[in-house]
Structure 1
Amino acid sequence: MTGPLDPEPIDPRPAEPQPLKPHPLFARFYAGYAGPALEKAGIAEHRGRLLDGLAGEVIEVGAGNGLNFRHCPPGVTRLVAVEPEPNLRRMAEREARRAPVPVEVEAARAERLPFPDASFDAAVVCLVLCSVAAPDRALAELHRVLRPGGQLRFFEHVRADSPAMRRVQRALDATVWPRLAGGCHTGRDTLTALVTAGFALGTVDRFAFPRTRVPLPTATHILGTAVRPGADDTR
């Protein structure tokens, strides 16, 4: 029995995500303008690096309009692409028909994946952890559906290095940015979140993208790997 001076027990489970708020206008803006602008800035190179060498059964969470599909290597035997936004999902279904590997597009959320434990050999997140409602729960779900030893590939914009830009990010995230950018947050500490979720970090490349003369609050990116440790991993 808990006494009056005993601390309340802490629930280790991630919080339930808030109800999904659709962003149809932002979806159209991203597909029609932001996405092509990123392609023109050279994001295809980073998409290729992100997926290079993947093999087996792979899940991509927040697949958007499917621009990663064309970069999948032939070792991928099955790609399950999860996307909750209906407009982007329809575009992803069209991309799936042209993909070099088998792609299944599913309507689901990162925070509640409808797959059994240990279903996939690898997972991919690409410019999505900034906008999910509950990134801790999304990473817990990815950890759950990965097989022991499975690899998570990530390419995300994150918290800036400079204190001045971090202050800008905090101000934007607390006010207008999430409303204007489909729930996006500019300054999330994704590397810490990965470790907290139980992943072991592998290689991490930190760089500015796109490279511009004017500092951008979303310029700091990380691209790398993390692993769900196996049952015999003592780390």
Structure 2
Amino acid sequence: MTPGPGTQSRAELRFAAWYDRLTARAEHGWAGQRRAALVGALTGRVLDLGAGTGANLPHFRAAVEVTAVEPSAAMRAQLAAKLGQARVPVEVVDAAAEDLPFPDGHFDAVVCTLVLCTVPDPARALAEIRRVLEPDGRLVFLEHVRATGLAARAQDLITPLVRHFGAGCHPNRDTVANLNAAGFTLQAAQTFKPLPRIPLIAPFVAGTAVPAHR
């Protein structure tokens, strides 16, 4: 998760401190299974964007190297403590998704897991992802997204509260539409509602996207 660069608020620090405990049940169940399926077979140079406290680390198996980008100092400290869980070389980088310090086409794959809901400027972040992604590379993602009907309106109402306590998280963000607008084509995507349900933090989408020029 990426609360953004700069000084962190008390709410962001508390969120980082409690994040692993809050997500432990999901990570031992559906979330961990989804992460493993998404990133386990990725090869070459991989960018783990908004790497948070390092939930993806134990699931990388085939990458030559992983660059874990995380702008939250509190999250990064927990991430660094978990580097021993990784099966592949990992470099931790302090950077924002909207301003990545890497050359064009540097990565064979980019991973976004529960991060595109939090970036302050999703259009700019997706433009940066496309820039640093090798032309034949792919973006793999696991995100919670905007619902429909009354649930979507309820998400709109709770978004200010969730943003404050959830390190900038937008439960009402239409990430699939943002991917399309940024010039990505979804090759495979599955929409689902995991159990146990988290009120108004659903549905989720997991899948793969590639630059639309292909």
State if a TM-score over 0.5 links the two structures: yes
Quote the residue 2:17 is aligned against.
28
Quote the residue 1:207 is aligned against.
192
Distance (Å, rounded) in 2 between the aligned partners of 1:115 and 1:39: 30
In the alignment, is the contact (CA less than 8 A) between 2:5 and 2:72 conserved in 1?
Answer: no
Quote the residue 2:57 is aligned against.
69
- 1:38-71 CA-to-partner distances (Å, cap 9, x unmatched) read 2244321111112132110000110011111100
Opposite residue 13 of structure 2, the aligned amino acid is P
SS at match of 1:152: strand
Task: Decide whether aligned partners of structure 1 residues 83 and 19 sit closer, same or farther in structure 2, where only a CA change above 3 A counts.
Answer: closer
Aligned residues: 208
Correspondences of 1:84-163 after superposition (within 5 Å)? 84-161=71-148, 163=149
CA RMSD of aligned residues (A): 1.6
Greater Rg by CA? 1
Distance (Å, rounded) in 2 between the aligned partners of 1:102 and 1:76: 8
Distance (Å, rounded) in 2 between the aligned partners of 1:128 and 1:69: 15
% identical equivalent positions? 39
1:193 pairs with 2:178: yes
SS at match of 1:176: helix
Opposite residue 152 of structure 2, the aligned amino acid is R
In the alignment, is the contact (CA less than 8 A) between 1:147 and 1:228 conserved in 2?
Answer: no
Deviation at 1:98, TM superposition (A): 2.6
- 1:84-111 CA-to-partner distances (Å, cap 9, x unmatched) read 1112111111222331001001111111
Opposite residue 136 of structure 2, the aligned amino acid is G
Deviation at 1:21, TM superposition (A): 5.3
Q: Which has the higher helix share?
A: 2
1:51 pairs with 2:39: yes
Task: Decide whether aligned partners of structure 1 residues 95 and 136 sit closer, same or farther in structure 2, where only a CA change above 3 A counts.
Answer: same
Displaced runs of 4+ in structure 1, greater than 3 A? 18-21
Quote the residue 1:3 is aligned against.
none
Deviation at 1:229, TM superposition (A): 4.3
Opposite residue 17 of structure 2, the aligned amino acid is R
TM-score for the superposition, normalised by structure 2: 0.91
Structure 1: segments with no counterpart, 5+ residues: 1-17
Quote the residue 1:164 is aligned against.
150
Opposite residue 189 of structure 1, the aligned amino acid is D
Distance (Å, rounded) in 2 between the aligned partners of 1:150 and 1:40: 29
Indicate the structure whose relative CO is greater, using CA pairs within 8 Å and at least 6 residues apart. 2
